Amino acid sequence: MSKKTDINFDKLNKFDLFFDFIGKNKIYLLILFFLLIMVSFVRIAKVDFVNDISVMLPDSPELKRSLDFINNSDMSDTIAFSITCKNNSNKNLLSQTEAFSDKLKKVSLITEVVTGIENLDISKLRRDITKLLPLLLAKEDYKLFKDIEKDEYIAEKARQLFIMLTTPGSSFMQTSMDTDPFGWSNHILNKLQVLSKSMGFDVELKNKHFVDKTHQYSLAIAKTSAPLTDAEKSEILMSAINDIIKTFPDLNIVTVCGHKHTLSNQKIVKKDIYITTIIITLSFIVLMLFMFKTFDALSIFILPFFAIVLSVFISSFILNSLSFFMIGFAAVIAGISVDYGIHLFTAWKTNGYKGLKNTIKPVWIASLSTMGVFVSFFISSVQGYKELAVFSIISIVICVLLSIIFLPHFWKKKSLIPNINIPAEVSVNKSKFILILWGVIFFFSIMSMINSDFLKATDISAFDGSEQSVFDSESQFYGVWGGEKKPGVIVTKGKNIEDAWPDYELITNKLKNNIDGFNSLAVLLPSIKQQQKNLQNFQEFWTKDKIFQLKDKFLKETEAYGFKKDSFNKFFLLLESKGLSFENQIPEVLQIFEKHFVKEIDSTHLLSYFNDTKENFTKIESVLTDYPDSYIVSRIELSSHIGKQLILDLKKISFFAFCWVCVLIIIFLRKPKDIFLSLLPVVTSISFVFLALNLLSIEVSAIILITLIIILGLSLDYGVFISSADSLKNRKSVIIAATFSMLTSMMGAGALLFASHPVMFSIGVTLVSGIIAAYLSAVFCIPAFKKVLK
């Protein structure tokens, strides 16, 4: 039998025998434990941790569809470069842009580089468009012909043609006047100008290169095969690009792409992990040296770190991937897990093995309640929450089991625990004052919670913790080229272009006049079936008699300006509209726009663009109910869908966690008074968080709402331990342990206040405010209620 314990030899039970067995073999078990830790480190070194925002998003077919489209389209693989000369002399800007482009093309992860539109012949474009007028013009466009029978209209057009012919700089118009003397193609060209905005930037063409309005900047657009969420490939890609930029010292090149956000977030999260780990380690050491003043207390604070290592090791076999967000939560888990060891250590020091056994029950209640909260995360559709649940439950189980059956064998016998001068019992008058003060704070906390804007909790931009330099470079880029507000996209799927086009065209016709910023290839190009109708209508409108009358009047007017009679033969042949075919939905002349409106992924996706506003989104959503093969991809859509799913998840998680806690305390505590007192820190801490957020002007986010559920389990611990103390002596001991527990939890959560990433920081603020409220309400309000309710 172990000599260290004060076990009663006359009344041994199974736990006593098992506890004594562990004590006799503690050295062998210690060696085995450290061997397991070493194996864990080796395993962890080989694990690939991911920094993918998708692990923090709900898992739903609709959301997956949108994210897959983003990842497989230009919305994620585009890298834009804004280029200008540092000396403000842009004489060689375009040639240097081409040189920069040539070097980019040699990077293995870059698949394409575009600096402008090659082989663009405006005159040819106009002529080719004119030939398609009978197919492209709908009846509503026939307002172009409304004055065609007026003599003064024809006379004015003839005069304009003469002026155009004799005006320098209008040669590109002269080449098309034989086929389009009335300028009807301008109607189509205006639509083409709108289509050009599908690229998302405000560009002009100079020598076939993209330039800004001042012609002081050039634009290069690259495509990459590196996935946006692949941090390793993103690092290789950006390193290669930065090396190329250094070879052009005379150029100021600003790069904008999603890969910079991926790398910056990873950098920030890694930095935060290092900082929080150092802070909590030093804090635990200080607490051990200056509060407990005994070397055996070191085991309490070291255990959570070992538990974290073991939980990551075990989790790596259970989960398909591990995220940095989960590891970033390690400091918090350390603060949680150490609580149970502190309560058992305090009980051991004050009342030996007997005190340890008496504390096991509240420790199990507290740990089961906290684990129950994490168990509720398995209901969520968010993969990151499930990872957190697995990781946290394993950590807590390891800490609790080892703190109960293994660590006490390395603790010394009874010794003095630092006395914390917190009264365990106060007078009735002071109790009433405490409860009044609590009531006032609780009232303002509830009001803050009621007035909180939960709609903003769905904003996914809150997950982006990129460095300020990334946002500054984007601001500089958008100041030149626009495009800061990315348009929303309507995706219409089909087996091929011809199959998808009818719905695409119907959607366009319903939305083009009702949606701000609407842009679709179908605005310009009807379906083949509709082109056939347009041709038929054109032929019915332009009868032989009407063509003859127009020809007779027009030629008489133009002859007066010296035009030959056969100068406009091509135009009158166009009016006869013979020999037009319907072979391809998108004719060759318009294929320069195809890549912006047609995406071939697993099938054909036809794209329409619109200003991404809530009003537009609502209108489009109502129209798309009749088109099951079409859907929206936009920030509004993502936020809306994520919000709905997260709220649904939170409701399920909260309900499960609440039921778990209620069942647990009813089973173990049973008495209504004890149940009420145990739940007091829970309602106080959760409501107080909203008051703290309000005072600090921090908006409610999804991660804060999830952290509140974790606080539910933490705050219940204080309620269970302090309300279960059946005597003044035990209450004093529990308050001391609760104080140490609060300090360690504050160290774990408080370390996150030094984090740079908004997700980590918001977790820190929520936990710190919740822990403070739970501790103070448990230590002061529970004894006050007991005093007043006697």
| Structure confidence by residue, pLDDT tens digits, 578-621 | 777 766 777 777 777 777 788 887 788 998 888 888 888 889 98
What pLDDT is attached to residue 169?
47
What pLDDT is attached to residue 584?
74
What pLDDT is attached to residue 292?
66
pLDDT of residue 361 exceeding 50: yes
The answer to whether the beta carbons of residues 619 and 518 sit under 8 Å apart is no
Average pLDDT estimate for 71-86 = 78
pLDDT of residue 356 exceeding 90: no
Strand partners, 630: 492
Q: What percent of the chain has pLDDT over 90?
A: 13
Average pLDDT estimate for 650-657 = 81
The answer to whether the beta carbons of residues 188 and 133 sit under 8 Å apart is yes
pLDDT of residue 506 exceeding 80: yes
What pLDDT is attached to residue 443?
94
What's the burial of 337, exposed, middle or buried (CB within 10 Å: 0-12/13-18/19+)? buried
Residues 6+ apart with CB under 8 A from 550: 148, 149, 154, 575
pLDDT of residue 187 exceeding 60: yes
- 486-504 per-position pLDDT tens digit: 778 899 998 988 889 999 9
Angstrom distances, CA of residue 466 to CA of 67, 287, 471, 514: 20, 34, 8, 37
pLDDT of residue 6 exceeding 60: no
pLDDT of residue 11 exceeding 60: no
Indicate the pairing of strand 322-323 with strand 204-206: unpaired
What pLDDT is attached to residue 75?
58
pLDDT band at 649 (very low <50, low <70, confident <90, very high): confident
Indicate the pairing of strand 598-600 with strand 218-224: unpaired
What pLDDT is attached to residue 255?
92
> What are the residue ranges spanned by the domains of the chain?
263-412+425-462+638-788
> What value does the mean pLDDT of the chain take?
81
Hey, how many other C-beta atoms are within 10 angstroms of the C-beta on 586? 15
pLDDT of residue 317 exceeding 90: no
Separation between Cα atoms, residue 733 and residue 352, nearest integer Å:
13
H-helix or E-strand spanning residue 220: strand 218-224
pLDDT of residue 2 exceeding 50: no
Separation between Cα atoms, residue 478 and residue 476, nearest integer Å:
6
- 141-170 per-position pLDDT tens digit: 888 888 888 888 888 888 888 787 766 544
Residues 6+ apart with CB under 8 A from 752: 272, 276, 331, 332, 760, 761, 763, 764, 767
The answer to whether the beta carbons of residues 212 and 221 sit under 8 Å apart is no
Helix, strand counts (H, E) of the chain = 31, 13
pLDDT band at 239 (very low <50, low <70, confident <90, very high): very high
pLDDT of residue 3 exceeding 50: no
What's the burial of 651, exposed, middle or buried (CB within 10 Å: 0-12/13-18/19+)? exposed
pLDDT band at 318 (very low <50, low <70, confident <90, very high): confident
pLDDT of residue 222 exceeding 80: yes
What pLDDT is attached to residue 174?
52
Average pLDDT estimate for 343-365 = 82
pLDDT band at 389 (very low <50, low <70, confident <90, very high): confident
User: Residue written as tokens 């002349």?
Assistant: 589
What pLDDT is attached to residue 160?
83
- Cα dihedral sign, 35-36-37-43: positive
Average pLDDT estimate for 523-532 = 86
Q: Which of 263-267, 290-294, 338-342 has the lowest mean pLDDT?
A: 290-294
* DSSP 8-class letter at 779: I
Separation between Cα atoms, residue 333 and residue 748, nearest integer Å:
7
Residues 6+ apart with CB under 8 A from 655: none
Average pLDDT estimate for 396-422 = 78
Q: What is the pTM of this model?
A: 0.66
* DSSP 8-class letter at 699: P
The answer to whether the beta carbons of residues 553 and 151 sit under 8 Å apart is yes
What pLDDT is attached to residue 358?
83
Q: Which of 53-62, 128-137, 769-778 has the lowest mean pLDDT?
A: 53-62
- 252-288 per-position pLDDT tens digit: 999 988 888 888 887 887 787 777 777 777 776 776 6
